[in-house]
């Protein structure tokens, strides 16, 4: 049953086209466009990098463990000192015995007696005095030490690194917004291209029908002997050309649909339809408003501003090299039985590090960071000038395309009236088929020009809003026709 249901769902999804509005197209692209997914993943990456920078303020605790086998145990052997003590004490005892013998009225000890006593005392002391050897480290031992380090003062380096990482995360968010804005702009343009081609095909169909009617009238008039054969031939040629143009534009519509689906991230085989048409909506905003918006919302300017802030944090990092760093540390040994008499089980302390001289490298890095700030400031000013220039260009393009569209409305009215008059002249025998065909072509061209100018008008308007960082506002103008 599940397979049957899946097949039915697949059949109905492919058999019927999905009606699509411009809002639907943009919403679908926001969820399925691969470039947007790429930059969403980049934001997640920057969030964790920011978390990593925050971790620099926290203590670092490590467990260090090892197993060691030595060629010999480590120990202290004071055997020569022990032997010297025994010999010295034995000699003193022999001298004491000799003095005691003299006090008793006996003669001094002979050398043989001295040697015998010395040997006796040495043997006795050797048995009484313990060996002067101590094993400090076993031949096989293991260690497990907990070591903790807490930075206290780093000259502002950690704080600057944290701010730099936060700015990097904001830059990723702006880049994602920029990509979404670019995708929205392309969706709008490609959607308008589909709408325009729909309108063009309607115009082509109307022209084909008009020329067909003229051909049929010419055929009747030829049979009645009212016109010559070449008038009918001219109408047949015009009809063939009109049908050829209609066929070509239908192919262009299919390509426009493919472009729209590709930008949306949709399967190219999925069927969709756009039931919309281009309708002129007035645009009355001033250029100063867009220049003000661009200085606040333009993505390029926002990114350069963040790069400027990052350059300032880099300067703070390099400046911290001239300041001391202070950190607290501590350690605790988990296997005290393997420690030597010279090693403590635990220890705490402070570590201070001051760089006195390193060949002027820190100074050079500081100056590099300082000039980087100057470079970014110049880049920001140059970008602001170019954005202002682009706003002016896009604004004038909007005005020009609007004027072309409005002025073309008079041309359409005249071409329509010219077609009506030529058809009447032909029906009364005063005109020729060529005049009617030419009038149809002129009228068709004026209608197609109107669609082209209107598409150009909305495309330029989309570019203008995009530079000012408010591409979505184009939808407000486009939706006015629905209201």
**Closest CA relative to residue 126, chosen from 83, 76, 81, 80:** 83
Phi, psi dihedral angles at 458 (to 5 degrees): -70, -35
Strand partners, 134: 76
Q: Supply the pLDDT for residue 6.
A: 39
**Mind listing the pLDDT tens digit of every residue in the chain (483 residues)?**
433 333 333 333 343 456 888 899 999 999 988 889 999 999 999 999 999 999 989 999 999 999 988 888 877 777 788 788 878 888 888 777 878 777 777 777 788 877 887 888 788 877 777 777 777 778 888 999 999 999 999 888 899 999 999 999 999 999 999 999 999 999 999 999 999 999 999 999 999 998 888 888 888 877 877 767 888 888 888 889 999 999 999 999 999 999 999 988 888 898 889 888 888 888 888 889 889 988 888 999 999 999 999 999 999 999 998 889 999 999 999 988 888 877 889 999 999 998 888 888 888 999 999 999 999 999 999 999 999 999 999 999 999 999 999 999 999 999 999 989 988 887 777 778 788 888 888 999 999 999 999 999 999 999 999 998 888 888 888 776 543
CA distance 217 to 16: 39
Residue owning tokens 């997640």: 44
Question: pTM, whole model, 2 decimals?
Answer: 0.74
Q: Is 143 helix (H, G, I), strand (E, B) or coil?
A: strand
Structure tokens at 341: 């008499």
Strand blocks (E) in 45-179: 60-69, 74-77, 133-137, 140-153
Superfamily of chain region 10-58+155-324+357-481: Outer membrane efflux proteins (OEP) (1.20.1600.10)
pLDDT at 2: 38
Indicate the domain borders of the chain.
10-58+155-324+357-481, 79-131
Neighbours of 111 (CB within 10 A): 7
Q: What sign has the CA pseudo-torsion 130, 136, 141, 145? A: positive
CA distances from 260 to 25, 207, 275, 367, 418 (A): 8, 27, 14, 50, 38
């Amino acid at each position: 049953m599940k397979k049957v249901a899946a097949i039915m769902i697949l059949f109905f999804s492919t058999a019927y086209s999905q009606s699509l509005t411009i809002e639907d197209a943009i919403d679908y692209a926001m969820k399925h466009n691969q470039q947007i997914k790429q930059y969403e993943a980049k934001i997640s990456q920057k969030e964790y990098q920011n978390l990593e920078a925050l971790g620099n303020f926290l203590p670092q605790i490590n467990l260090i463990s090892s197993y060691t086998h030595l060629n010999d145990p480590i120990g202290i052997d004071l055997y020569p000192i022990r032997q010297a003590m025994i010999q010295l004490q034995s000699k003193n005892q022999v001298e004491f015995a000799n003095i005691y013998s003299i006090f008793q009225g006996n003669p001094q000890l002979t050398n043989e007696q001295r040697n015998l006593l010395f040997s006796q005392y040495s043997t006795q002391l050797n048995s009484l005095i313990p060996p002067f050897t101590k094993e400090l480290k076993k031949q096989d031992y293991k260690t497990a030490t907990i070591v903790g380090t807490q930075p206290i003062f780093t000259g502002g380096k950690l704080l600057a690194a944290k701010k730099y990482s936060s700015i990097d995360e904001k830059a990723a968010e702006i880049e994602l917004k920029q990509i979404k804005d670019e995708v929205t702009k392309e969706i709008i343009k490609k959607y308008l291209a589909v709408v325009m081609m729909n309108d063009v095909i309607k115009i082509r169909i109307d022209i084909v029908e008009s020329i067909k009617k003229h051909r049929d009238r010419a055929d009747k008039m030829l049979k009645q002997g009212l016109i010559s054969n070449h008038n009918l031939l001219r109408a047949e040629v015009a009809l063939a050309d009109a049908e050829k143009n209609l066929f070509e534009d239908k192919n262009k519509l299919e390509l426009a649909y493919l472009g729209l689906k590709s930008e949306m991230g949709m399967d190219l085989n999925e069927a969709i339809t756009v039931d919309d048409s281009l309708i002129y909506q007035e645009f009355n905003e001033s250029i100063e408003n867009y220049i003000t918006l661009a200085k606040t919302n333009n993505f390029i300017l926002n990114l350069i501003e963040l790069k400027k802030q990052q350059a300032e944090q880099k300067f703070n990092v390099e400046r911290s090299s001239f300041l001391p760093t202070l950190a607290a540390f501590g350690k605790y040994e988990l296997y005290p039985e393997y420690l030597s008499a010279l090693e403590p089980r635990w220890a705490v302390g402070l570590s201070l590090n001051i760089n006195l001289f390193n060949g002027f490298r820190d100074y050079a890095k500081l100056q590099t960071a300082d000039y980087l700030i100057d470079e970014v400031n110049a880049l920001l000013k140059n970008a602001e000038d170019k954005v202002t220039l682009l706003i002016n260009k896009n604004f004038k393009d909007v005005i020009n395309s609007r004027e072309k569209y409005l002025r073309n409305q008079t041309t359409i009215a005249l071409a329509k009236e010219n077609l009506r008059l030529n058809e009447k002249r032909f029906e009364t025998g005063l005109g020729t088929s060529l005049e009617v065909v030419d009038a149809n072509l002129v009228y068709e061209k004026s209608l197609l020009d109107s669609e082209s100018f209107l598409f150009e008008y909305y495309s330029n308007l989309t570019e203008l809003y995009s530079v000012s960082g408010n591409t979505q506002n184009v939808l407000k103008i486009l939706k006015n026709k629905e209201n």
